[in-house]
Amino acid sequence: MLKCMSIFKTIIFLITISSISAIAQADSKKKRLAVDKVKSGLSVMVLGSGGPVATSDRVSAGYLIFIDGQPRILMDAGGGVFQRIGKSGAKIGGLESILFSHLHMDHTGGMTPILAMSFFHNMAAGVQRDAAYNFIGPTENEITPFPSTSGYIDGHFLAGEGLERYIAGFPRALNIGTFNYEVQSVSADTDDPMSVVSHSSDGVVIKAIAVNHGRTPSLAYRIEYKGKSIVYSGDTTSKTQNMITLAQDADLVIYDTAILDDSPAPFINAHTTPTRIGEVAVASGAKAVLLTHITGITEPNLDLVKHTIREQGFNGRLKVAHDLDVINLHKH
C-alpha cells in the first residue's frame, strides 16, 4: 500500500511539474509575440523582409505601422504577409491605410486574405466597422501594362464588377458592419514633387514621392507622427534625388537591398546598389537604415553590403531586417 501511495504521489508530482512546464512554455510563447514588442508612439513591424522567392525565414514585402501601439497602416502586402500577421499576434481590425509601393505580385499578393482577416478580427472583438479602408498606390503610365491603383483595387472589389466583389458580403454575414474603400492613385512621374496623401486628425501624416523601378510605376513613402518619421523606399534604383528628398532627417529608412554593385541587368535597372544606399543615407541625414527586400543575391553577402554602405560615410545605425522584427522610435 505504501509503495502504491509512493507511486501515486510520484505520478501526481510529475503531472504537476508537466502542467507547470506547459503553462510556463505557453507564457514564454506569449511573451515572444512580436506585437508585445511594440512600445513607442511610432513603431514598425517587419512582416516580410524578402523578395519574390520565399524562404523559410523571409516572405515577400510587408510592413505594419503602429501608432500609439495600434496597427493602422500596412505598407505592401506580399505573399506570406497574411501568415506573418497571424504569427505576430497583431489584430488588424482597425487597419486604416494600405500603401502599395508598386503593383508587382510580391508586394500585393496577400491583399485579399489580409482584408478578410481584418473582418474576422473585428468579429472576435465584437467591433462594428463602416469606416473605409484607404488604398494608396501609383498611377499607371503609358509604357507599361500596369493599371492605376484605382483600377487595380476596383478590379478586385468594385460592387457588381470586381473579381473579388464577394468579399463585401463578409462583414454583413458576420454582422460587423460594411466593407467600404477609397483609393488614391498618386503620380508615378519622378519629376513631380513629394505630396501629402493622408493627414489624420491625430497628426499622422503620410507622404509619397515617385521613384524609379525600371519601367514599373512606383512610389516611396514617409510616415510622420509626433516628430518621428519612417521612410519606405519600396523597390527602386534611387537614380533620382527623390529618395534623398523623402528621407531628409528621417529616423528610419527601410531600404530595398536586393542587389550588389556588380549585379547584372535586369536587376541593376530595378533596385538600389549598396553604394547608392550609402550615398542616399548620408545625403539625407538619415539616422538609421533597415536593410530589407533581401534576396538570394544579397543574403550571402550582407557583410559586404554593410561594408559598402559604411564606405560611403554613413555612420548611423545599420540593421538587417528579419521577419517579425519590431523597431520602436522612442520619443525624446
Quote the pLDDT of residue 54. 87
Taking 90 as the threshold, does the pLDDT of residue 22 lie above it?
no
Long-range contacts of 86-90 (CB under 8 A, 24+ apart): 86/117, 87/34, 87/324, 88/33, 88/34, 88/35, 88/45, 88/47, 88/64, 88/324, 89/33, 89/34, 89/35, 89/36, 90/34, 90/35, 90/45, 90/64
Quote the pLDDT of residue 330. 78
Quote the pLDDT of residue 278. 98
State the amino acid at position 48 in one-letter form.
G
How far apart (Å, rounded) are the C-alpha atoms in residues 102 and 270?
Answer: 12
**Domain at 35-329: CATH code:** 3.60.15.10
Q: Return the higher-pLDDT residue of 319 and 56.
A: 319
Cell of 140: 499607371
How many Cα atoms are found within 13 Å in the side-chain-facing hemisphere of 178? 6
Closest to 88 in 3D by CA, of 152, 45, 26: 45
Quote the pLDDT of residue 264. 95
Q: Return the higher-pLDDT residue of 129 and 17.
A: 129
Cell of 59: 516572405
Instruction: Reduce the secondary structure of 165-216 to three states and give it as a string.
Output: HHHHHHHHHHCCECCCEEEEEECCCCCCCCEEEEECCCCCEEEEEEECCCCC
Taking 70 as the threshold, does the pLDDT of residue 332 lie above it?
no
pLDDT digits (tens, 9 = 90+) for 216-229: 999 999 999 999 99
Q: Return the higher-pLDDT residue of 144 and 44.
A: 44
Of 137-146, 157-166, 200-209, 214-223, the one with minimum mean pLDDT is 137-146
Confidence of residue 144 (pLDDT cuts 50, 70, 90): confident
Q: Look over the chain and give the mean of its residue pLDDT values, rounded to a whole number.
A: 91
Cβ distance 308 to 291 under 8 Å? no
pTM of the full predicted structure? 0.90
pLDDT digits (tens, 9 = 90+) for 254-312: 999 999 999 999 999 999 999 999 999 999 999 999 999 999 999 999 999 999 999 99
